[in-house]
Amino acid sequence: MHKAHKLVAFSLAAFVSVLLLGVVVAPSAHAQATLSTGSIQGIILDPKGESVPSAKVSITSKDTGQKLQPAVTASGEYSTGPVVPGNYSVRIEAAGFKSLVLNLVVQVGQVTTGNASLELGESSTVINVESSAVSVNTEQATVSGVLTAAQIDTLPINGRNFLDLAQLEPGVQIQEGSTFDPTKNGFSSISFQGRFGRTARIEVDGVDISDETVGTTTQNIPASAIQEFQLSQSSLDLSSELTSSGAVNVTTRSGTNDVHGQLFGLFRGNQVAAALPGTTPPPFQREQFGGRVGGRIIKDKLFWFADLERPKQDLLAAEPFSGPFAAQAFALGEPFREVQTDARADWNISGSSRAFYRFNFDQSSQIRPFGSASSLQGFKNVNHTQTHTVGWDFNTGSYTHSIRFSYLKFRNGIADGTASIAAGPDNPVPGLGINIGAPVAGNCVLSGGGSFCAGPNLLAPQQTLQANHQIKYDGSRIIGKHILRYGIAYNHIQGGGLAAFFTFPQVGTTAAGASADPTSYPIQFAFMGNGIGFSTAEKAFGFPAGGLGPDNRVEWYVGDAWKIRRNFTLTAGLHYDLDTGRVDSNLGPLPVLNSWGPGLGNQIRTPKNNFSPEVGLAWDVRGHGKTVIRAGGGLYYENSIWNNVLFDSPGRIAQGIFSDTPLVCAGGAPQPFTWPTAVSSGTVIAGGAGIAGANNLVSPTFCGNTIASGGSNVIALSNAFKAAAASSVGLQPNPNFIGKTLSAANASGFDVFDPNYRSPRSWQMNIGIQHEIRPGLVFTADYIRNIGEHYLIAIDRNHSGSARSFNQANAIAARDAAQTANGCPTGSGQSACMITALGQAGAQAAYSGAGLDSNIAVTGGGPCNFCAFPGTNPVSGNAGAVGVLDMLEPVGRSVYNGLQTKLVQRVNHPFKGLKSADFQISYSLSKFVSQVQDQDFINLATNNDNPLQFTGPNALDRKHQFSFGGSFELPWFTRLSFIGHFYSPLPQNILLPELTSGGEIFASDWLGSGLGSGAAGEPVPGTQIGQFGRGTSAASLQNLINNYNSTSAGTLTPAGKQLVSNGVLSQADMTALGWVMPTLPSTTAGAVNFPWLKSFDLSLAWPIPVLHEGKLKITPSVSAFNLFNFHNAFLPGNLASSTLGNPNSIGMVTSATSAPFLASFQSGTYALGAPRQFEFGLKIDF
């Protein structure tokens, strides 16, 4: 049996043993809160401060009538164990003392303090004590926050997405899901501490609903179905599931003894809104309606609850572009539909024993492009998710237990959304994706935008599926002053699907010219796909291939909360995680990889020693529950999302049913690619669109032609390629098998795992203070540090194109071959002859095509034994025997440092005329630095020889974040509520443009490490990651450019120096050919900085009681989102390009040309920062 399987079997046996032990054995014990519940814990003292062990405690849920009678220990302590969040009455009685009734609010994931100081007197005398709605947490070191059902109902949540509820916590940003993956249209994600929001662990009622393929959630939950929403971001609870960033914990509503419900409807439209960006303001209309209802079946025993929400939006979105395309009015229809449901039944079995069943279903559909940048490349994204959850919380004796089981099925599909768009400005060549001015490989999706993007999207079609079968157990007990906690969880996760990228062929350029006709541009780069979307050989979900995993995830933990003194708690624990099926370990060794380095062909390691210690303390300074100092720290593991496997498996397997997405044109030159069926050399394919050569390779004939003249040939060759692939039935030789191609390049869709894989992880620590200024008003301040380690960075093990891989003999031969082929003499000093014959761009291409370049430029990353810079490795040196090997190395490191503060107040009748006040103000001062923007995804090293050299402000780093929100109950049935945000700008890199038609390593590779396959350009010398908006502004950018132009422009790169110093070409040749560092253009007058994100949302509602005691209330409302119509631009996913010189780049965009970057509607109902909109609502509560 495989070692990982043995560990799974052992852990499952341990699960059963722990459960049986807890159920059968019943010594004196108590419990603590779990993730899906809360708890009440306290100590009972007499007037002298001595414990009262003879006291009796009775606890009653005010909502469901559930009654608990926890035991009181010899030290006077009691605890409920896990209870449903809500309102509770705690009655404490003891002979010789007055009875005391505490009215407490229990919140999810929190231990509510129920300390009592009894007064001497008759027990028939009852003292009632009302607790504050907000109080200091004297028991836990976790940095967290909770939003209650009342706040969810009253705050103006723009769009009502359930994850948007997190937006008031310090250090947290809501990230629109489509900014990091096309399958996440209509979803939000939560960014903790400046990091992309992929890997926040999201749980509902204690079970996981996270997307294991690309991150964030698999489904939306109706906001009106949520009881409480908890967010944790440092010193996470021991029972938290796998995450190194932060956790979201949601509990859903239950029915109560009384029938209660709500109906609501919301409407907004362009008729009463500020104009959205676009030459012609686009029309839109959004409707959101739904309702909830719940009650009892048997009083105090059996309850039911149901909820449904229906968002519906129609939008003709303007898609403005920059440069020569700015004057045209482009638009794309982007309809959105969604249905969110929740149904639940609860059963108070007896005493502390309680069970529930919950069903959720979410279905959504939307047409839109990928990301936030302007694009006409729309696709239809459809999601279907269902979840079944069963929970059982109970006590046996003094043991407490919490058991959860869930089944989740997530289905996503992506299809082309442009077929109905007629040929014209919005779709110049139907069936062909056109990408102009896209700096990475001439592709808008890979570049995050371009100067013009139209036609079908490369991402369609796709299908993504995930099924979870999860069971988990949490338990705890008290032994003396120690609260022992333990738990175990097992989740069988199956993933799969297909992604037939480039089924619709794509053409493009890296730079924009002066023409406003996109079809007048040359086909500089071209991609096509074989229409087969499988990237693994595993069967799953009825598909013959494409399976991911399964991952048999096992987690367990054990911990202790030691009450050293009544006002001092020390916590410590150990968490363990085992994930299987995440990194292709099942494929075994691949010896051919040893051609790049010893040991690289070993089997990929599955980490089996992911033990995570954590420790924390909470010190109630004076013992009055008013001021607490807390600190904590620990190690927290992450996993590699399954999307990374899609780039590894296709290169490791010799035969199967695989996707093939060749780059067929690069720099205007053809790149021969393998044809799916046997074809004779010289065969004309698709009417001349391609010509077959030796070894079953086909060369396109349209590279370098204009899109107008060559577009039809691109489509014809693409159709023939797909037809040939479809005719090959069953398992076929894999054309991309590394054993055959001797390469694995990122630009071709391949990045392989290092066999010494390590799980990403983070070291977290926090220290801070909570202080109750007055009842109901609490101030919190925490310093948080999070160090991320072992995240993946792709490093080329062949160091392709690096200056140190120079092969002099090949360089001289390539030079002479190019010159001879074009009628020029051999030897140095013939650049003038070549330029006269071909022009500068043609001469560059001719030299490069002959081999005077890197193997990435000449063979698309394959082996190149005639290249001047073929790469170098420890096995074959610089002989060019192998090509690019982009290997995912666990070497990344990120650091977050932040001061997070918040002030929370919840009080009733704070002064005359104000019935209640509920608000929160938060501020964070922070910095997040990293080498890459999205550390949980695939990223290429900036410097292939020193991947950690370039580290700086990255991702969603914002130095200042100020958020506030609240609601106030005013006279005359008026409620005022608001939410506001003021965030400092995001950073951006400052990169060199890549302007040559070949030999780019001689023009911009000043690092000398080679230009990565599919990588962005190199940073301008003297700059760091995130330079723009931090060390350099729009005003000082020109000084940076001037300094560069005076010191670096016109100089040789390390690769260029190799040519000159070894007599291949002269300095004059290099200058004439443009093979020197480029001269950067000046910035445009009036170039803008990235502005602060500013938004203020305000709602006025009038809850009018219709029946006695408010049993029926009708609440009309009007809300204004971005009330002051703040001008917001350059939001995540839609920053100005980092590559200098393009019209859509930093230093070139002015206020007059900023339309493509203005905030507007994004996917689903996300609209943060968009121009002002008014929303009218009506709500009926009963």
Domains of the chain (ranges; CATH) run 31-130 (2.60.40.1120), 668-726 (no CATH)
Average pLDDT, the chain: 93
pLDDT at 121 over 90: no
What pLDDT is attached to residue 34? 64
Give the residues across from 416 on adjacent strands.
379
Q: What are 203-214's pLDDT values in tens digits?
A: 999 999 999 999
pLDDT band at 422; cut points 50, 70, 90: very high
Summarize pLDDT for 71-112 with one digit per residue, the tens: 888 888 888 878 888 889 999 999 888 889 998 888 888 888
Look at residue 23 in the predicted model and tell me its pLDDT: 42
Pick from 184, 275, 718: nearest CA to 455? 718
Identify the bridge partners of residue 663 per DSSP, sorted by sequence position: 527
Query: 134, 1073, 142: which is closest to 630 by C-alpha?
Result: 142
600 Cβ contact list (under 8 Å, min separation 6): 593, 594, 754, 755, 797, 885, 887
Mean pLDDT, residues 702-726 taken together: 97
1050 pLDDT more than 90: yes
Other beta carbons within 10 angstroms of residue 719's beta carbon come to 16
* Per-residue pLDDT at 592: 98
pLDDT, tens digit, 9 for 90 and up, residues 363-408: 999 999 998 899 999 999 999 999 999 999 998 877 889 999 999 9
- Among candidates 477, 811, 464, 814, which has minimal Cα distance to 646? 464
pLDDT at 10 over 70: no
Q: Is the dihedral of CA 1011, 1015, 1019, 1025 positive or negative?
A: negative
Name the pairing type of β-strands 697-700 and 673-674. Answer: antiparallel
Identity of residue 1018 = E
Q: Are strands 126-130 and 99-106 parallel, antiparallel or unpaired?
A: parallel
Query: In the prediction, which pLDDT does 29 show?
Result: 34
DSSP type of residue 943: S
**Cis upstream peptide for 1081 (omega within 30°):** no
List, for residues 949-978, the tens digit of each pLDDT value.
Answer: 999 999 899 999 999 999 999 998 899 999
**pLDDT recorded at residue 31:** 40
Using 50, 70 and 90 to split pLDDT, how confident is the model at 35?
low
The pLDDT score that the predictor gives to residue 32 is: 52
d(CA 493, CA 472): 14
Q: How confident is the model at residue 33 (pLDDT cuts 50, 70, 90)?
A: low
241-284 pLDDT, tens digit each: 999 999 999 999 999 999 999 999 999 999 999 999 888 888 99
Tokens representing 488 are: 């175990």
Per-residue pLDDT reduced to its tens digit, 898-925: 999 999 998 888 888 788 889 999 999 9
| Angle formed by the axes of helices 808-821 and 831-850, nearest 10° | 120
pLDDT reading at 28 higher than 60: no
pLDDT of residue 977: 97
Nearest C-alpha neighbor of 471 from the set 533, 545, 530, 403:
403
State pLDDT tens for residues 772-787: 999 889 999 999 999 9
Cα angle 148, 154, 157 (rounded to 5 degrees) comes to: 90
Residue type, 283: P
Strand bridging mode 353-368 / 379-396: antiparallel
For residue 480, what are the β-bridge partners? none
**Cis amide bond preceding 430, omega within 30:** no
To the nearest 10°, the Cα dihedral for 731, 735, 737, 740?
A: 120
Q: How many CB atoms lie within 10 A of CB 1098?
A: 17
Sign, CA dihedral 1035-1037-1039-1041, equals: negative
pLDDT of 17: 46
The pLDDT, as a whole number, for residue 365 is: 97
Distances (CA, A) of 158 to 68, 174, 1121, 1122, 1166: 40, 12, 7, 10, 7
Output the pLDDT for position 14: 46
pLDDT band at 6 (very low <50, low <70, confident <90, very high): low
From CA 407, how far away is CA 386, in angstroms rounded? Answer: 8
Q: Which of 14-23, 592-601, 694-703, 781-790 has the lowest mean pLDDT?
A: 14-23
Q: Between these two residues, 982 and 482, which has the higher pLDDT value?
A: 982
Encode pLDDT of 1069-1084 as tens digits. Answer: 999 999 999 999 999 9
pTM recorded for the entire structure: 0.91
